[in-house]
Structures are given as C-alpha cells and as structure tokens.
Structure 1
Amino acid sequence: MKRHYTLLLLFVGLVSLTTAQNQKITLEEIWGGAFRTEGMDVLHSMKNGTQYTVLNFDRSSKSAAIDKYNYKTLEKVETIVTSSDLPNINYFSSYTFSKDESKLILATDVESVFRRSKLGKYYVYTIASKDLELISENKIQEPTFSPDGSKVAFVFENNIYIKDLEKGNTVQVTTDGKKNKIINGVTDWVYEEEFAFVRAFDWNKTGTYLAYIRFDESEVPEFSMDVYGDKLYPTQQVFKYPKAGENNSKVSLHTYNVASEETKEVNLNNAYYIPRIEWTNDEDVLSAQVLNRHQNDMKLYFYNVNKGAEVVLHETDKAYIDVTDNLTFLDDNSFIWTSEKDGYNHIYHYNKNGKLQNQVTKGPWEVTNYYGYDEKSNHIFYQSVENGSINRDVYAIKLNGKDKERLSSEEGTNNATFSADFSYYINSFSSASLPTRYTLNDSKTGKELKGIVNNDALLKKMSSYEISPKEFSTININGNELNMWMIKPKNFDPNKEYPLFMFQYSGPGSQQVSNRWMGSNDYWYQMLAEKGYIIACVDGRGTGFKGAEFKKVTYKELGKYEVEDQISAAKKLGNLPYIDKSRIGIWGWSYGGFMSTNSILKGNDVFSMAIAVAPVTSWRFYDSIYTERYMQTPQENASGYDENSPLSYPELLKGDYLLIHGTGDDNVHVQNTMRMAEALIQANKQFDWAIYPDKNHGIYGGNTRLQLYTKMTNFIDEHLGEKPDNISEPKTINN
C-alpha cells in the first residue's frame, strides 16, 4: 500500500506539473495587468552624486512622498517631504528641485492638454523652513525655477509670468497671448507632437535673462473634433493643426531682461522652425537651432545679447536632419553634438566657435542614446547598437575618441541612468527571454554592485504558461538583410501548415525587431500562437539603427518601399513548408495601419486579411512637421502623396479588412478612416470597422483595450483561423 501511495503521489505531481505548464494566456489577464513588470520610478540624482530621490505613493494613506536614497547602499536616508504633512495638498504627482536643491516645485491637480502638455496647480516648498507657497491661483504650465531659486517663470493662458519668491510679486512678461492666435513660452500642437517639447523658454546661467519662443498661429488652419461625452448635446474641441503643405506658426525668438523688463527679438534671418533653444555656459550667449521647412538644412546660432547672432554650425542633408536633445556645452563652451553626416549617427566635439575638434565615435553602427559627459574623468557615456542592431549596450569613451569600453555585459537591451557626478549608474536590462532587471553599476568598470529590482516572480509565473520563444533571424528581401522575429506554436509541427499573422510599424527610424522583454502585444502574440498561428515581424527599409541610407531610402515615397518589403517577406515566408500561403494576415497601428491597409491592397494576391488601427490613409491629412520631413509638401510632391495612398486604389481590396479608429484622436484624425470607408463604399467593397467614441490615438480607458483586442482576436479567428483536416506534406520552398 505504501508503494502504491508513493506512485499515486508521483502521478498526481506529474499531472499537476503538466497542467501548470499548460496554462493559457487570456486577454483579461493581459489587459488586467497580470503580466505587468516591476519597474523603478524616475529618479532624480542629487548634486552630491551619492544620493538620489524618488517619488513614492502610499496607496493606504493616498499620500505622496519624496524619499532620498543612498546609491551605494540603496537604503532610504530620509523623507524630504510628504503630502500627509502639507495642509493644502492631498498628494502631488511630480516634483522639480531648484538648482541648489533647497526648494521644490510640487505639481497637484494636473490635467493633460495634449500628449506632453499639462495644466496644474503648483506649489513651491522650501525644505529648510517647510514653507509652502502656491505659485498661482490659476492652473498654469511649465513652472521653472531661476538658477538661484529666487524666481519661478511659468505660462498662463499663452503668456509668460515671473513670480519673485522673495518679494511675493508677479510680473507679466508678455501680454499678447491669446488662444488659437498667439502663444508665448510653450509650443503649439505640432511642435509639441513632432519636436517633442512643451517648455519654450529658458533661463540664462545667472537668471538675468529669460529667452522664449513666440508662436503666431493666426494663419494656421483649425481642426475641430466632436466630443460626444455623456450630456444631451456633444461639444467641440477646436485647435490649430497645420496639415502637410498648410501654414505653420510664424515663430520668433526673444530675450527678456529681468532687471530692466526689456524684451528684444533675436534676428535669426526669418527662421522657419526653431526646434531647440538653450543658454550656453556663458551667461550672455544663447544657442538656437534653426531648420528650414524641408528640415534638411540645420543652423546652430549663438546669440550674444550684446553683439547679435552668428551661425557656428551648419549641416545639410539630401533628405532630412533629425532634431535631438544631445547638444551639451562644456565648461569652455565647446560643445558635443550628434550627427548622421558620415552615414551613421555618431558623436562629435566642436570648439566654442563651431570648429570640429574631432569625431568621437566612428563605425558602421549607430549611437542610440547620449547620456552625458563627465568633465572629471573626461569620458562620454552613450548607448549604441555596436553589438548588433537589435541589441543595446552602454559604453564609455574619452572625449578624444580613445579608450572605448563596453560597460554592459549581457546581450539584450541595456539602458543607463547616471548619477550627477557619473560615479554610478542604474542599468536596466532585458532580453526576449528575461524580464527587466535593475542593477547599480560602477561607471568606471560597468561592474554590477547590487541588484535593485528584478522580475523573477514574473519569470516564475510565466513558466506555467505555454510560452514560445521569439526566434530572431534575418531575411533577404529586395537585396537587403532585414531583421525578423518569429513566434511559433509551442507544439509546432513542421508537417503542418499554419496561418501566418504579420505585425509591423515601419515608420522612418522605428524598430520593432529588438531583443527586449515582452510588451502587452507580445503576450497577445503568445496567446495567438497558443491558438495555432505563427506570428512574424519584419523591419523593412526605412526603419532605424542600420545607417542613414537604409533609413532614408523612403524619402518622398512613404509607403512604397516599406510595402514592397512586407509583401515580398510575406511571399517568401508563405513558401515555407509549414506556412499556409492562402492564410496570411497583417496588422498595424498608426503608421502600421497605413502599412497594413496598403499591403492588403497592393498585395491582394498575398494577404487575405488585414487590420488597421488609427491609420493614416493619406499623408495630406497628417501634420506638417512630420510629413514634410519625409515627403516635402504636397504641392512639391503630389505623386509621392497620392500614388502610395490607399485612397487611390480601394478597388484592389479582395481580402477581409478591419478598420478601427477613435473619434477623439487629435493626432491621426478619424477623418483618415472616414475617407477610407467612403472610398471602399464607393468601390462597392465589403469591410468591417469599429469606431471608439472620444478615444484618442491610444484607444484606451476602462474596458476599451479589452474590447478592442477581443474584436481583433475574433476577426483573426474568423478569417485566418484553423481549418479542419489541415495536415499536409511539407511544401517545397521556391527560391
């Protein structure tokens, strides 16, 4: 009996183990946060370089606290301030230190305007005295300390104000701000979206001057969106949105003398775009980056408040120049700059007059992140794809380009956050098989000093699911070796034919094939693989991190070469013996929706199904800065716009097509989907579609994502799903 009992326990254990490893991923789990990774809140490195602060929330008390930690021990040193001790604040959602770290700006009651812009009530908290002062009774934007912490500049209703914290008075710097007319000190919609910044003012080194950009958007056409809400009548949101070829804001750069209250306009020779301004280490010298409308001519101006402006650096490109935040001024006012001028994105050092000192990094690979320069050790720290375009590593190199050292050691995606004195960095690492792990590392050697956060619990949890490995490879398409990943069903049988479901984004400089841990869509792909689909992703021409030529080949022809690559890849994969070429689908979101729509039309003999979420259907409908960077204007390049627009050939639709959009999308307007629907209707083509009321470009909120992905999954099952008796002999690959 005892022996039988032991065998029974062993049998039960094996059954339990098998059952545990066969757990199925569900959409409810994906969008309910079951696979969410543990991360680190954004930290602020203190000036001393040995400590950092983090904003922590206490769910039980619903309070917020700024806690200080020690880098070396990772132990909490003190709580600088907690909202539970502040009489007027329930909690705060972000904070900013003054330069001397004696004061804080605390953000409360914050509401979003667009993707990056926010309105809120802001307080100044003095750490030593524990005094709390409301900056303005109104909801304001971008409050920023002067360098000595005695003043705060901010924007209210498109005008700039400066509050003197010592005297208590507030001075209005500009007076002409008006909604949908004039903006001072913060960006208009298209700058915010495409040049990726909101605060368009900057204090000089001593706080004696404030520089700001003024936007005159009077002649920019307006766009309106109906907001359906839950009231009897809908409302309208109206804002300035320059579509390709239309009028942009007229921009000008100004300096304000705080003492004399005098404002001067900076002569930049009728600059078309001013995507960056920044004071140099010289209190009298302001830098401004200026672009022409085509964005292929970049000038870096140095403006001396006493002498005027001069061009210190001038770059041109046959296609376009990307704007970055990498400009760094050294103590002698020489500067570090990144550029693609040798065909790959690299780091350069120029003297204060714009003369090239040396090219710091070189090689047929890209610098993907610039972390900063340490004057003490004379080292630049950066991230690159030198170890393969799907990987990211952290490097250190001397300013003269010598003694390069790879600091990261594990193959995958490494990213660093350095302490203020560059003595330590926190490394985040993940790969396709390992979830994100945060460690404290020594900046001189890269040596791991201590683990901080890991996701071992998630990794253990995932072991009970049928997870298939993401297989990385390259595929030769149209003469190029393209990066690809593929996910096969766990019980993959090479003698069986499987439907193929392809994902891509394909936008200029983007990347979807990368060696990093799973996001929400990856869990969805695992779920689809469990159901019997093969999932694949190919980064075609125009995507990033393989050099400027590879990326910029799509210039003036968005949707041509990228679509050719997806169609050719699908054909080649369809010839594999285990893929059913009659059941190949493709999907994408935003630019990816533009691509999936074009693919099922131009590749109607290859793709039997496509899903397009929030797609651009004509680049004529999209914003000026993004579109013209890659296409010039419609007036100059009409054929480039129209020959690659799915609106031009809806009659080509043969397969099953699902079109999805949110009506509150301020980025890719629902107009794109409405025009596509009308084109298909007039071509007498049947299609499916779904409209999400008041949802923006991300289409989320409440159960929205769950409902959306349920709809897409059902559509895939209906049109690509497993057919009965689908076992066949292996096919011969046609080369």
Structure 2
Amino acid sequence: MSRFKLIVICFLLAPAFIFSQKKNFTVEDVIINAYSKLMPENLSQLQWIPASHDFSFVKDKFILAGSVDSEKYDTLSSLDKINALLSEKGYDKINYLPPISWIDENEFNFIYDNKLIRVNVEANTAEVINRAPEEAENLTVAPNNRYLAFTIKNNLYVSLDGKEFKAVTNEPDSNIICGQSVHRNEFGINGGIFWSPNSDFIAFYRMDQTMVSDYPLLDISSKPARIKNIKYPMAGQASHHVTVGIYKIDDESTTWLNTGEPKDQYLTSLTWSPDQKNFFIAHLNRDQNHLKLIKYDVSSGEPVKTLFEERDDKYVEPETPLYFIPGSPNKFVWLSERDGYKHAYLYDTDGNLLKQLTKGEWVITDFDGFDKDGKYLFFTATKESPLERHYYRLELKNDKLEKITKEPGTHSVRRSDDGDFFIDNYSNYDTPRKIVLANYNNTLRNLLTADDPLSEYNLGKTEVFTIKNKEGIDLYCRMILPPDFDPAKKYPVIFYVYGGPHAQLITNSFGYGRYFIWFYMMAQKGYIVFTLDNRGSDNRGLEFEQATFRRLGTVEIEDQLCGVEYLKKLSYVDTSRFGVFGWSYGGFMAASLMLRTGNQFKAGVGGGAVIDWSLYEVMYTERYMDTPESNPEGYKESSLLNYVDNLKGKLLLVHGTFDPVVVWQHTLLFAEKAMHLNKPLDYFPYVKHEHGVRGRDALHLYTKITDYFVDNL
C-alpha cells in the first residue's frame, strides 16, 4: 500500500476513532459535575397525592401528576402560574419550586422566604397562609397546615395567623436554647419542635449549656481576628442539661415535664399519644447502657409510668419515636436492637410487650408506618443481604411477612395511603436508576429508566466480594480496577476508609457522587481503589458493630490489615505501594493505618481527622469509649499522638479551621508532636471551612489529594 493511500485511509477513519474514545474524569468532574451532569436522572419531589392513587413530581418548572390508571401526565401547576397567582394578591414572586407537601387531593403548601404558601390546583388559587420574621429559623408547620413554630436566636416562637407571633420562651441567656436540636444530633434527633396531632400543643426541647465549656473558633475575617466561642462538651467533661416543655396554644401556658435526675441524662424518642393526653420520652443514662421509656401526663407534667427498660453491657442506642397503630391508640411499635439486630416490637401503652414482630439475623433500616386501617406495617430491611435494601409488608394479626420489591439492589419505596400501590426507586451495580409503579403482584409500568451518566467515560471493572477476618467473619470489599487493567502488570492500591459506626460503604447500588467519581478518576490514573467495611460499621448487627467498644481504631485496623494481606496475594498488586484516604472517622482511620501497621502504607491523606478521642464530644465518644476516667487504657491506645514517632511514609493532614465537629485542635496537636519529633508531615488548613470543604475551594482540596498520591505513591 502506498504511503498516500495509508494517509487517506487514516484521515477517513480518524473521526470515528476519535469519537469512539472514552473520556477521563477531571477534578472539575469530581467537584462540579458529580452531583449534576454525572448523576443518574431522577424524578424530583416524587410523592403520592393523599387519599388517591395519583402521584406528583416536579420537572423543570412544572408540577406534573400521574395516576395508577393512566399513562398520561397532567400539568397541575408551574412556577410561572404560581407566581401569577401570587402577584394577583400582591405577594412577592418565588424564584424556584421548593419542596411541596400535599394537604389533600387539591391543595399543597410549601415554605419560601419564611412564608407558608398554599396552592389549590382545582380552585386555581395561591395565598400566604402564615409567615415568620426574616430572622426566624427551624420553621415547623403544624399538622393543621396553618400554624408555624420557629426559633429566633435561642428562643421559641409561634405564629397562628402570620399577623403577629408570640414568644413561647423568653430565655435572656443565649446559652439556654429552646426549640432546637439537642445532644449534638445523636440518638436520631434532628429538631427540637414537636407539634401534637391536633395542633393544640407544642412540645419542645430546652437545652441549658451554661455548665459546658466554651470552645474557641478563630474567625480571621475581621481585623484583628476574633474568637467565636461554641459550646463543645468533650468526653468526660460537663454535659448540657435538657428538659422538655409543653406549650398549650389556647391559653399560652407552658407545663414542664418532670424528667428528674440526673440532669445530664439524654432525652430522645419524643412522641405524642394520638389523644394528646400523654407524652413519651426515652430516658438514656449518660453511660448509655440503660434506657427507660416513660409515659408522662401532659396536663400535670408528671411521669405516669415507666413502660419498659432496656440494658446492655456496652450501649443502648434509641434512634426512633414510638409508632402508633392507626385505629389502635393504645398500641405502638418500638424498634430495638435488644436481640442483637434492629427489629420491631409491639407494645401497649401500659408497657406490656404483646409480641416481637420481626426477628432474624438482619436489621430494619427504615420504618415506613402503617396502612390507613392499621392492618399492615411497612419497612425496609437487609433480610436478603447486608448489601441490599428491600421493602416488606408485615400483617400484624398473623405476622405474615411479604417481600414487595423484586429486583436485586437498593430500593427506596413510597406507598400510596391505602398501601395498595408502590413507587419503587432503585439501583444496583448495573442499573443507574429505575423507577417503577407496582402493586403486590406486578410491575404496572416503568416511570423512569435513567441512562448511565458515566457511559462516555473510561471505567474499569468494579468487583464486590467478601474475605474473612481472623475470627472467620465475612468482610465485604470493593475493588475498582484501572480501565486498561493488565494482570501482568503491578498496580499501586489506594484504600478508601471510613470504618466507624453508622456508615456502610459497600452496598448493591450504582456508584455515583463525589467519592465515586474520584475513585474512577484515580483508577484511570493507574491505581486500584479498594474499600472494606470493617467491624464497627453499620447494618451487620450489634455484635459486629460493638466489636470496637472501648478500643476505637484497633479492631478496625485488624480488619483493614486482612484486606492488605488479601491484596498482597494478588499477582498484579504492587505490595510496596499501598495508600489510604479518609475523612472524619475515615481521617482517623487513614492516620491510624499510616502509624499503627508497621509501615504497610506508603502514603496517606486524612481529612478532618479525630486524633485523640478525649477531645471529641461527649455523646458520641462515651457511647463507644466510655469516659477517659473509666477507660484510660482505651483512650491511650487509640490516641494517635502516641504513635507520631512511627511515621515513616508520607502523610497529609487537611482540616477546616472553623470545624465545629472535629475541632481543629486535633490535627494541630498532631502537627506540634511531629514538629517536636522532627517527623516530616504535610499539612494544609482549609481556612474558614467547617467539617467539610465546600464550594469551589473543594477543587483545591481534591487537586491536592490527587496530586499527593500521584507524587508519593
């Protein structure tokens, strides 16, 4: 073939060759596109419309409705239409469609700019029902969809009509906080305002922090820099005192529940009785190993009865309210790990255990309530596998359990009010997202099959498997291989770790989001990315989770080293080039693996890392470590300040200088110790950032992390 003909053929084939090439990820993809262009398509605000077999979702600027009985979609409203209706009444326009909540078949409301706005799609009206002042926070809508409760600074207020608002509390000391979350959001607590079923009362938390030490955060935005003090109770130190008030709407009076001593107990699982006569609180002692569920009389504030108690040698962790059964106001379901796995128990309001509803070596991960007649309860659980989430229905009368979801993977299900139909939103390793409409027997139709947002990118193979640790326990692992993987070559490995409670990194779900895009990018750069869920992580039962009790960072290391030994047996792994990256508890684990494994790891990055557990907050730390006074050896063993001299590899620590979760002091003390010992440590403070680095500054962070491994591993 002549040279001319070869050039012509190459020219003609070039466009097809170029366009068939897969793309590589950039740091911009990790930070800017991971949760937009590289996310599987979804149906925004997908929900059932009450008392119907219709459902709604938001697409672009339109609110659309579908039905079980029809494949057509109707436009119920739109941003422009709502703005036109608001303008007619002289109200300000809204700039986007916030989350909407249906009231009935025709009306929904939403909060925008501290206004409660109601839209009637049948009457074609929109109006402001109530409003709170501009400075109000923690807005909570009453069940009557008219009243608002909210906080301004440290006090609680209520507005019944939007024309005036009333102070529920009047605490002059800013260290006494009402109507906000307490106990640093542990125990499933995510708010401090609890409306009664008929909107006649507001229960609320009052948190007295006057006895808690101030902790200084340095604000450099002013000249000179100034100190911003927060209340941060460290392990073993004085903790705040919490009480519960009941505010009565009609006479504006407050009754304080007599929750008694000790004052530094934890109060959670706050629940109203359906008739509003009683209020229930789970009392947990500071050692977190003894729970009492107590029923209170709302009118007097006095305890009526302790319904039951739970004890555990290590800890008890209540995280959910009581779930009352429709039509049976004297019966409720309680979730507990008392038999080693989180299961449902049926009680009456006199404290009698009627029966254990679910059992087995699996956990309920989400409780979804009951059908309208109280015949069935619904929940999501790990019954098929710790890697999967499936949806179930349990008949209360005969304990008949029925699995509703069909396909393998991780399912998130919404059911119609009557419980006859389901919208199943799921993914698995091979399915980015699929949303189907179903009943108990069949899939009725597909609502969405998302395209693979990563299809144009150069991805290597992902493998999920188990290995056994030294105790013979299965540990789930994930390995992402380079796209051009060649088993004849040797590859470095980056461990991504978390390893702490309430987290599970490996599930049968489609991998997307910031971390996964970074994993894929590093695989494209020639690294194997490896993850292992060690003992102490979530959804494997209490024995698995509690294995780390009083020895954080020790059992986890043992399991991660099982991963190291497994990888060393693979012919294509460069056993001299192990790296590790993690954030928060994962930062603690990354630094621990660098310091406590005999130099198995060559390079590591720890972000927002806990260095010494005695510097971390009371509620979390004492649950897993007890106090420094009662467990001095455990705190000594876990403190990374005691291992700085072991540092041989390259370690980068990064930390937000305004971090209120893992305070900056942790890694500063580590840096000081490294300085004293003349140990080379790389360090970067993310100025003015909190526990995570947000916005475009994250580009700098992930560029630094990426370059660190490229340069040192």
Letter paired with 2:255 = K
2:456 aligned with 1:449:
no
Counterpart position of 2:712: 719
Q: How does 1:71-150 map to 2 (within 5 A)?
A: 72=69, 73=71, 75-79=73-77, 82-86=82-86, 87-91=91-95, 94-95=98-99, 97=101, 106-109=110-113, 121-125=114-118, 127=120, 130-132=126-128, 135-150=131-146
| Equivalent residue for 1:315, pick from 299, 302, 310 | 310
Q: Is contact 1:415-1:427 (8 Å) kept?
A: yes
Letter paired with 1:606 = Q
- Partner of 2:44, secondary structure, is coil
> Which segment drifts farther, 415-424 or 286-295?
415-424
Counterpart position of 1:225: 217
Distance in 1 (CA, whole Å) between partners of 2:55 and 2:685 is 45
Deviation at 1:17, TM superposition (A): 5.3
> Which segment drifts farther, 584-593 or 139-148?
139-148
Q: Is contact 1:68-1:79 (8 Å) kept?
A: no
- Partner of 2:510, secondary structure, is coil
> Which segment drifts farther, 575-584 or 139-148?
139-148
Map Cα deviations across residues 165-213 of structure 1 (whole Å, 9 max, x no partner).
29x443322212542x21112124x433x24544323222333332222
Distance in 1 (CA, whole Å) between partners of 2:74 and 2:224 is 53
In structure 2, the CA distance between the partners of 1:170 and 1:464, relative to structure 1 (3 Å rule), is: closer
| Equivalent residue for 2:251, pick from 260, 263, 271 | 260
Letter paired with 1:23 = K
Map Cα deviations across residues 5-37 of structure 1 (whole Å, 9 max, x no partner).
9x9889966983586244322222332314222
In structure 2, the CA distance between the partners of 1:326 and 1:424, relative to structure 1 (3 Å rule), is: farther
Q: Is contact 2:409-2:509 (8 Å) kept?
A: yes
Q: Is contact 1:135-1:163 (8 Å) kept?
A: yes
Letter paired with 1:209 = F
Deviation at 1:126, TM superposition (A): 6.6
Q: Is contact 2:608-2:656 (8 Å) kept?
A: yes
| Equivalent residue for 1:623, pick from 597, 600, 617 | 617
| Equivalent residue for 1:419, pick from 411, 416, 420 | 416
2:676 aligned with 1:659:
no
Counterpart position of 2:16: 16
Counterpart position of 1:541: 535
| Equivalent residue for 1:558, pick from 552, 562, 566 | 552
Deviation at 1:635, TM superposition (A): 2.0
Q: Is contact 1:103-1:126 (8 Å) kept?
A: yes
Q: How does 1:47-66 map to 2 (within 5 A)?
A: 47-54=50-57, 58=61
Counterpart position of 2:484: 491
In structure 2, the CA distance between the partners of 1:43 and 1:22, relative to structure 1 (3 Å rule), is: closer
| Equivalent residue for 2:365, pick from 357, 363, 368 | 368
Distance in 1 (CA, whole Å) between partners of 2:613 and 2:650 is 24
In structure 2, the CA distance between the partners of 1:614 and 1:71, relative to structure 1 (3 Å rule), is: farther
Distance in 2 (CA, whole Å) between partners of 1:92 and 1:464 is 31
Q: Is contact 1:339-1:348 (8 Å) kept?
A: yes
Counterpart position of 1:730: none
Map Cα deviations across residues 74-107 of structure 1 (whole Å, 9 max, x no partner).
7235128724542323336645658668876643
Q: How does 1:670-709 map to 2 (within 5 A)?
A: 670-702=664-696, 704-709=697-702
In structure 2, the CA distance between the partners of 1:658 and 1:547, relative to structure 1 (3 Å rule), is: same
Counterpart position of 2:322: 327
TM-score, normalised by the number of residues in structure 1: 0.87
Counterpart position of 1:395: 392
- Partner of 1:495, secondary structure, is coil
Distance in 1 (CA, whole Å) between partners of 2:210 and 2:58 is 40
Counterpart position of 2:562: 568
Letter paired with 2:132 = S
Counterpart position of 2:165: 170
In structure 2, the CA distance between the partners of 1:491 and 1:439, relative to structure 1 (3 Å rule), is: same
Map Cα deviations across residues 355-386 of structure 1 (whole Å, 9 max, x no partner).
22222222112222212221437222221222
Counterpart position of 1:383: 380
Letter paired with 1:646 = L
Distance in 1 (CA, whole Å) between partners of 2:669 and 2:685 is 13
Counterpart position of 1:725: none
> Which segment drifts farther, 134-143 or 644-653?
134-143
Letter paired with 2:32 = G
Counterpart position of 1:726: none
Deviation at 1:674, TM superposition (A): 0.9
What is the CA RMSD across the aligned residues, in angstroms? 2.9
Q: How does 1:496-507 map to 2 (within 5 A)?
A: 496-507=489-500
2:524 aligned with 1:530:
yes
- Partner of 1:709, secondary structure, is helix
Counterpart position of 1:727: none
In structure 2, the CA distance between the partners of 1:92 and 1:527, relative to structure 1 (3 Å rule), is: closer
Counterpart position of 1:580: 574
Counterpart position of 1:301: 294
In structure 2, the CA distance between the partners of 1:484 and 1:227, relative to structure 1 (3 Å rule), is: same
2:151 aligned with 1:158:
no
Distance in 1 (CA, whole Å) between partners of 2:669 and 2:518 is 30
Distance in 2 (CA, whole Å) between partners of 1:30 and 1:150 is 42
Counterpart position of 1:39: 42
Distance in 2 (CA, whole Å) between partners of 1:150 and 1:595 is 48
Distance in 2 (CA, whole Å) between partners of 1:346 and 1:470 is 33
> Which segment drifts farther, 20-29 or 383-392?
20-29
Q: Is contact 1:501-1:534 (8 Å) kept?
A: yes
| Equivalent residue for 1:635, pick from 629, 633, 641 | 629
Distance in 2 (CA, whole Å) between partners of 1:40 and 1:236 is 45
Distance in 2 (CA, whole Å) between partners of 1:404 and 1:10 is 64
Q: Which runs of 5+ in 2 are unaligned?
A: none
Q: Is contact 1:474-1:483 (8 Å) kept?
A: yes
In structure 2, the CA distance between the partners of 1:555 and 1:209, relative to structure 1 (3 Å rule), is: same
Distance in 2 (CA, whole Å) between partners of 1:23 and 1:137 is 50
Q: Is contact 1:609-1:656 (8 Å) kept?
A: yes
Q: Is contact 1:361-1:401 (8 Å) kept?
A: no
Letter paired with 2:518 = W
Seq. identity, %: 29
Letter paired with 2:53 = T
Letter paired with 1:237 = K
Letter paired with 1:151 = Y
In structure 2, the CA distance between the partners of 1:14 and 1:131, relative to structure 1 (3 Å rule), is: closer
Counterpart position of 2:504: 511
Q: Is contact 1:609-1:655 (8 Å) kept?
A: yes
- Partner of 2:328, secondary structure, is coil
Q: Is contact 2:461-2:482 (8 Å) kept?
A: no
Counterpart position of 1:251: 242
- Partner of 1:436, secondary structure, is strand
Map Cα deviations across residues 676-709 of structure 1 (whole Å, 9 max, x no partner).
111111111102122111112121212x222222
Q: Is contact 1:98-1:145 (8 Å) kept?
A: no
> Which segment drifts farther, 213-222 or 22-31?
22-31
| Equivalent residue for 1:269, pick from 260, 275, 280 | 260
Letter paired with 1:202 = F
2:207 aligned with 1:215:
yes
Letter paired with 1:345 = K
Letter paired with 2:73 = E
Distance in 1 (CA, whole Å) between partners of 2:409 and 2:631 is 40
Distance in 2 (CA, whole Å) between partners of 1:98 and 1:176 is 35
Distance in 2 (CA, whole Å) between partners of 1:492 and 1:457 is 22
Letter paired with 1:441 = A
Counterpart position of 1:471: 463
Q: Is contact 1:586-1:596 (8 Å) kept?
A: yes
Distance in 1 (CA, whole Å) between partners of 2:456 and 2:60 is 32
